[in-house]
Amino acid sequence: MQPVKLFSKGVVTGYRRGLRNQDSSISLVKIEGVTSKADTEFYLGKRIAYVYRGLKSRKNKITKRDTKLRVIWGKVRRAHGSSGVVRASFRTNLPPKAIGATVRVMLYP
C-alpha cells in the first residue's frame, strides 16, 4: 500500500501590501507546483499549518505530552495575481519571522 500525501509544501512570501502600506492579517503563500491562477482553485478553502518551535515546552492538548512544537492554523482565501500565489488568513497573524518559512497546505478537507 502506497503512503498517502496529506499536505503540500508552501512558502510564506510576505504580507499583502501596496507601495506604502501592508496588511499583516493577510499572508501571501507560494504553493509548491502551483504556477497559474487556474491551479490555485483546488487549494481554495484548504487549511494551512505554520509549524514552529517555541522556547519552552508546553503540554499538548491531544497527546498530553510535553512538546516545544506549536502550530498556527489558517485557511487559503483566494488567489493573488496570476502566478499561483494565494492569500491566506491565519487565526493569529503570522509573525515576521515566518516570512520565508515553509508551511503545510493540507489536502484533505
- What are 64-92's pLDDT values in tens digits? 999 999 999 999 999 999 999 999 999 99
CA atoms 81, 19, 100, 96: torsion sign = negative
- What are 21-71's pLDDT values in tens digits? 999 999 999 999 999 999 999 999 999 999 999 999 999 888 899 999 999
